[in-house]
Structure 1
């Protein structure tokens, strides 16, 4: 694995589960976004940046197996200034870099924090993976899993750790439901059975403000994160 910028790896990483470091400085909330190929993860990251960038200090780390395509897309779209977007080439299955050997992602996150501190939010987007994709809690503090209606309304029923355990499940492309024969009520019921009380957001990024439910959820998580740091 390697980053898209030169760096010197530290002897150890400084991740802590707490919002405030031992030196009293505040750490950004680290949010992992995973999901299958084509579900709309990068589009969701772009929409979140556009929605939140005027009131929060944000950075992004993207993951691709052999390219930096997602990071380059975000830079072309100017969702953040270029120095706020880092890319990791995993060179292997995406889940490896977010769950098993997180060193390249963790270094990218920590370098962004060192360079841009203070940050409020760091979004770590996984490369496209399957329903088993989950993030190491050594890398992120909270996890979002994105699926899409066009892949079939049976996806929530199939379960898998991404669907059942993510802190937020996002069902994207709801505008396509009539065109692909998907039943949103069925998807919602199946998601409730799989997830219990964990929240689910149905969105369409093709509509103005479509990312709103996810942005609101993240804002609530960030408020709680900051409250932990002052308790």
Structure 2
């Protein structure tokens, strides 16, 4: 606390007969109110008035509601500018052809509407801009549900805990995207399909080379699968 401020306090004590007492370190105590603080705090110099939110008049509110029907948002600017410009914009929009009234969403400053309030329709039609269409995210294609032998194969895998743990080894024709490859296996059902799935997942997939080729030929023969069908 400077000597100048301290003298201001002393003058205040003498002139207003207030009971401010200096407590040290720049802090004062006001005996009348019980408040403590610095000189600026007690005097209220640090308290700036809060800006009041803009509340449009009834006329401005009506004007804003009118243009909102065409997709136009509230204008930006000072409270006085917005109050005036909202009414100006509504009057201009109402005199323009109906099919272009929503083409001014890009003109958002109150100042622009005020400065060009005397402009004719030709000026405003020259500033019309077709609003961009909202970009829609492409919808994911619905997942195709397994049917036929693919559905039966998945049911077998899920029903057996040992197979379920190795679900990634499910026969390829039962996996999404391979619907066009199920035809050679469609005749498999019941115990025959279950035997094929178990053999395929627990034995066949672990073979390699010539042994795997021989096993594939044998399985095609035993399960009635057409020659040349990929296993």
**TM-score after normalising by structure 1:** 0.17
User: Which one has a larger percent helix, Structure 1 or Structure 2?
Assistant: 2
**TM-score after normalising by structure 2:** 0.17
User: Which one has a larger percent strand, Structure 1 or Structure 2?
Assistant: 1
